[in-house]
A and B are shown apart, each in its own frame.
Chain A
Amino acid sequence: MRGAFLLLSKELTELRRSPVLVLSMLSLPTAMVAVPLLLVAWLDRAAPPETLYWLREVYRIDLQGPGGLIGVLVAAVAKNWLPLFLVMPVFLPILMAAQSVGGERERRTLEPLLATPISTAEIVLGKSLAAVVPSLAVTWVAAALLCLGLDLIAAGRMGPVPMPDASWLFGCLLLCPLLALFGNALAVVVSCRVLDSRAAQNLAAMTVLPLLGLVVAQIMGRLALGTSFYLWFALGTAVSDGLLILLAVKWFDREALLTRWR
């Protein structure tokens, strides 16, 4: 597995030297953290009465629930924002992994790479780690900042540390790595078959659509994403990860990658 870590090290060096890619990776997490924090802070401190009335009537939120207004707002973010947050560990690896094979081919580095004694499994693992490690790091930092921000806004008015609650701990510690692996493995599989890296990125990115559908259904009140849903979701993602990684190694066809042009 030495080759995989050499690839990881090289990819991380390249990432550090690519401000555009780093910025594109940070834009989504910044929005994911800033939007709920600003919204909660505004609703808690400065929202006019008609806005709170609208929240109560349209979303049927009991603003006199446990913990008062801030308790209700933190609970709403904890419940509704988690599925949207989980889009991030799928999407970020896709940004990077879709470039993994197609990018090597476009830069003409694929043939010299394949001419070295590195194995197919090492290439797939190295490319996967290079997409998953930074994506997961960014996701976890974003989650930590969001939780810390909510805790600071609610400081002294709820329990000692309302966030992260159990669902966020489960989501961050288990679902985020599984989803990051899923996004990466899917992008590598697509990248092995679709040799244009931009097309691979677009195709792989379409996988976030079902997740967004779940989010919309939850916000519209059509679906309640509870404990059992997340457990089954984690299991399904883990199985999909295994299958996709096997498929990525199987479909990494050296001959086709060097000689096929579409």
Chain B
Amino acid sequence: MPAIDVRALSKSFAGRRAVEGLSFSVEAGECFGLLGPNGAGKTTTLRMLAGLFGPDQGSATVAGCGIRPREGASRELRRKVGLLTELPGFYDRLDANENLVHFGRLYGLSRTDARARSARFLERFLLAAHAHKPFAALSRGMKQKLAIARALLHEPEVVLLDEPTVGLDPEATREVRTVVGELRREGRTIVLCTHDLDEVERLCARAAFVATRLIAIHEVAAVQRGRVHVDLAAPSAGAAPALRNLPVVREVTQEGLRLHVELAALDGVPDVVAALVACGARVAAVQPVRDPLEEAYMAVLAEARGRGLLS
């Protein structure tokens, strides 16, 4: 059973359709990307999945809790979901620790548990030295990490991240991505809403392209896992035939000194290199093929514009 199952979800605001007939599912433990231009309905979708408000039509199940039209926001759902909002709103006059303890208690933790978990997350996100600084005195990256800590304090089954690295400098971006990567390795179900295609390539197995409605679901990891470029230092007639004999290789094409190799999995790369060396080829470089996510994204945008879904 998927951790998130969205079926024909629709939502309008003041007559403007924000989300229309959106359907997708996310498996437990999967990191799922939600991509789309501004105004595509990504944040609205996350807010519905977080139980902030209900859809006009359609339904969804998140961590076993149903979301249906004209139903009040479910408290049970909100207990099971951690939401990272686009901007890390905290109370300026409380320090980092007090803010976390306050939100932990609102999520139902006892004072003792909230304090213990706050200390643990501040330590984990390297914020312990800043625990007693007022929120306003923290850097943008620290604020964002604090917001991620808030989303995780109550140990949610599903984590919804809305633009986790927007507006951050490269160092802070890297720190936040490291944190998200850790969450993924812990096996949490994550929905990552972002404009950053590189982020999706690094963190997600699949991504949905949305422009009010679902346009396509892209298998990010499958493409990344399967394709490598091998650059040879000198021409070699035997290189391509040698690779075709390997069980891990699905397909090989040659273009000058570059071999395009499609593998069953990226862990077949050492076999590829060994086979090339054995046949006398001189290997200059082996590079995983970058996922053509940007191209796919642009194609999706063009399609969405063609269908009148975007201006």
Contacts and interface: CB of A to CB of B under 8 A. Distances in A.
A112 B103 contact: yes
B75 A108 contact: no
Interface stretch (A12-20, A57-65, A90-98, A229-237): A12-20
B293 to A, nearest CB: 29
A114 B53 CA distance: 10
B53 A255 contact: yes
B52 A108 contact: no
A109 B89 contact: yes
Contacts of B187: none
Q: How large is the interface on A (under 10, 10 to 19, 20 to 34, 35 or more residues)?
A: 20 to 34
B98 A116 contact: no
A10 B87 contact: no
Contacts of A113: 106
Interface in B84-116: 85, 87-94, 98, 102-103, 105-108
B93 A115 contact: no
Nearest to B88: A108
A257 to B, nearest CB: 10
Contact of B52 (A14, A17, A115, A118): A115
A259 to B, nearest CB: 5
Contacts of A45: none
A119 B75 contact: yes
Given A115-B52, A115-B78, A6 B106 contact: yes
Contacts of B81: 115
A117 interface: yes
A108 B94 contact: no
A116 B89 contact: no
Contacts of B92: 107
A254 B78 CA distance: 14
A117 B93 contact: no
Nearest to B106: A116
A111 B85 contact: yes
A107 B105 CA distance: 20
Interface in A13-61: 13-14, 17-18
Contact of B53 (A17, A18, A258): A258
B93 A116 contact: no
A110 interface: yes
A108 B85 contact: yes
What does DSSP make chain A's interface, helix, strand, loop or mixed? helix
Interface in A207-262: 254-255, 258-259
A112 B83 contact: yes
A94 to B, nearest CB: 21
Given A17-B93, A108-B87, A10 B102 contact: yes
Contacts of B133: none
Contacts of B85: 108, 111-112, 115
Contact of B89 (A13, A17, A107, A255): A107
Nearest to A11: B91
Contacts of B73: 114, 254
B50 interface: yes
A3 interface: yes
A108 B89 contact: yes
Contact of A110 (B89, B94, B150): B89
Nearest to B107: A116
A258 B52 contact: yes
A174 to B, nearest CB: 34
B75 A109 contact: no
B250 interface: no
Contact of B108 (A13, A114, A117, A255): A117
Contacts of B53: 254-255, 258-259
B47 interface: yes
Nearest to A15: B93
B89 A111 contact: yes
Contacts of B106: 3, 6, 113, 116-118
Given A14-B93, A14-B94, A111-B52, 5 more contacts: A13-B93, A112-B150, A117-B78, A117-B79, A259-B13
